[in-house]
Amino acid sequence: MLKLGKQKEKEFASFFNNVVFPTVEQDMKEHWDLNVKYDVKMLRRKKRHEEYDENIHWVELMNVRGDTGWLYGQADYFSFEITDYWIVVAKDDLQEFIKNTVVKEQVYTPTLYKMYRRRDRKDIITLVKTIDLMYISSSVIKKHTQP
């Protein structure tokens, strides 16, 4: 997954000139992927062995080490991948949306808009609908077409 994630970061970076990528430490601790302070989120699955699902995305409130999740990192924007587009959401807008939408109930089964914690892990993540990200997005960028 890490290698594929890095490929997606480079794919998104192709929209910009003079992109600088973070060091491994900056990526892990500051939670940004490009010097334009985007944190790129690739297509994900609801559960490990399911197909990729462009209708949902995960948002990390606390990471597996129990530290602040990427939602509260130093990126200014998040870019969420769907099949043909990137949905760009400002960090402040996503934080506000999560604050107003996520139920402060901890669950151990992936559930939309609830605080999901994996057993024996310190992370807290939540599932959101992609359509909701579209509503709060600052832009939607069409992916480059392949020849």
Name the 3-class secondary structure at 48. Answer: coil
CA distance 39 to 55: 19
pLDDT on residue 87: 96
Please provide the average confidence, as pLDDT, over all residues in the chain: 90
pLDDT on residue 17: 65
- Give the tens place of pLDDT for each residue, 34-83: 777 889 999 999 988 999 999 999 999 999 999 999 999 999 899 999 99
Is residue 27 within 8 A of residue 15, CB to CB? The reply is no
Q: What percent of the chain has pLDDT over 70?
A: 96
CA distance 87 to 63: 22
Token pair of 127, please? Answer: 């599932």
How many angstroms from the chain centroid is the CA of residue 35?
17
Tell me the mean pLDDT in the region 19-27. Answer: 86
